[in-house]
Copies of this chain bind each other. A is one copy, B any other.
């Protein structure tokens, strides 16, 4: 799986650089923003796994941006947080807060806590996925079709998992490419085409059916019966 994407939102270049180095070294994928308005712009394109948010920002303050980040864990990083505003922040949707100057290890630990929370939540919800005759055991990492075990490569497994987690939704090609290619900077569609083709073939061999449907120009989805 690709590294988690973390946004660093701080207009202080020095602190931002420091954070970026720290997080990059830890294997996270980093994206910088320097104003509240920039965050909102970014947000319309993609969504991060976590946000480090300074409160004193040009454009829009951190407090203003916070509500827009609903559903994404936000760790507030700021110099002056008294206990009352801590309460306000947390009520406003922040997942945690750290005061400047912060300790690197502590910050990393708090980030890890957030990701562990998310993982726990995801794991809670599902250890196995089912779509018609396909069963996917996420713990055993095993896929069965009509009772037959089907051997998939890591990429094929990832594609099928994404599709089966959202069985009614169309999954964009770009989303699939994002999740699938770890380090490849710009993985080409030709690759995705082949993976999907191979995946289909394997599923077909055990079932005779074609479970994956192409949506022209957009992506793929599980075929509704």
Contacts and interface: CB of A to CB of B under 8 A. Distances in A.
A106 interface: no
- Select the residue from A124, A140, A166, A218 with max chain B CB neighbours within 10 A: A140
Interface stretch (A84-92, A185-193, A195-203): A84-92
A208 interface: no
Interface string A52-82: 0000000000000000001100000000000
A187 B1 CA distance: 39
A104 interface: no
A170 interface: yes
A169 B121 CA distance: 18
A221 B141 CA distance: 10
Contacts of A71: 121
Interface in A155-181: 166, 168-170
A56 to B, nearest CB: 21
Interface of A: 70-71, 83-84, 86-87, 90-91, 95-96, 117, 120-121, 124, 139-141, 153-154, 166, 168-170, 215-218, 221
